Structure 1
Amino acid sequence: MVPRVARGSTPYWRLPLGGAALLLLLIPVAAAQEPSGAACSQNTNRTCEECLKNVSCLWCNTDKACLDYPVRNVLPPASLCKLSSARWGVCWVNFEALIITMSVVGGALLLGIAVCCCCCCRRKRSRKPDRSEEKAMREREERRIRQEERRAEMKTRHDEIRKKYGLFKEENPYARFENN
């Protein structure tokens, strides 16, 4: 028997099945992208362009060696190749320049976002009400005043009707009853 589930929610047994199916689909893709160690070392003593055709390779300019990129580290260790002579992706940018450029661009982006946020917050805080807001506030106040006037008119009309039929509430409703 299939458990009843509220509309729009996913049954608990479908989630692992979907995850397993996704994993099975991604395993062949990951296996196809996994570089072979021999592919990079074959390009040693050739050109940088030939080495960097394979994305998993790192070119060391000092000893003209094509090495496997150490994926466990973010940056290649100095024992493998100095940052000033290491190339990855393109031959005309070394890792030092890449790190400096990326940090400057990242810092500029963060600074720009912070400035935009501050400007937007300040503008919202110090913004005077614009004409449409002022007009809406005026109309609201006028409606409130008219409503109060109508209430007062209705009260006087009701009081007149109460007086006419003797239902008017007097100051002291417990007055002495006189028999003449």
Structure 2
Amino acid sequence: MENKTLKNLMEAFAGESQANRKYLAYSKKAEAEGNTNAAKLFKAAADAETIHALKHFEVAGQIGSTADNLKDGIEGETYEFEEMYPGFLETAEAEGNKAAVRTFTYAMEAEKVHAKLYKEALENIDQKEEVFYYLCPICGNIEKAMPEKCNICGVDGSKFIKY
């Protein structure tokens, strides 16, 4: 028998996750237009949606051990760069949508890096030495040292965000 509540929890997780990102985009747009109050409201709502999504995911029993979560990350990122984005790219190229080609290419290349970093983290799961990561705010590439420039999109390394 199908567990409808689990299905509903996962559907709610997906919806809340998408709402989070949508509201963050709206917040950036409102901020760029000088609408500070709307920007703050969208940001607060985005954070609220994250709270909802994380609780739904937890209640659905989808959070495993760190090793299991790293394996899941590897699997998800690998699927994206091996299967999902190549098809998306092919369609965008056929339709002549250069902006979509660029965003799909950036994401596909970044997902390769993410999978590699997850594998590395899994192989070194007992390492206690702190590692820092640097995120490209344009394409989503992650590096373990601040680069001079992003090797995916070319943005100046000084723009990377340190974690």
* Structure with the largest fraction of strand: 1
Higher relative contact order (CA 8 A, sep 6+): 2
Q: TM-score range by the shorter chain?
A: under 0.3
Provide TM-score, normalisation by structure 2.
0.22
Larger Rg: 1
Instruction: Compute the TM-score of the two structures, normalised by the length of structure 1.
Output: 0.20
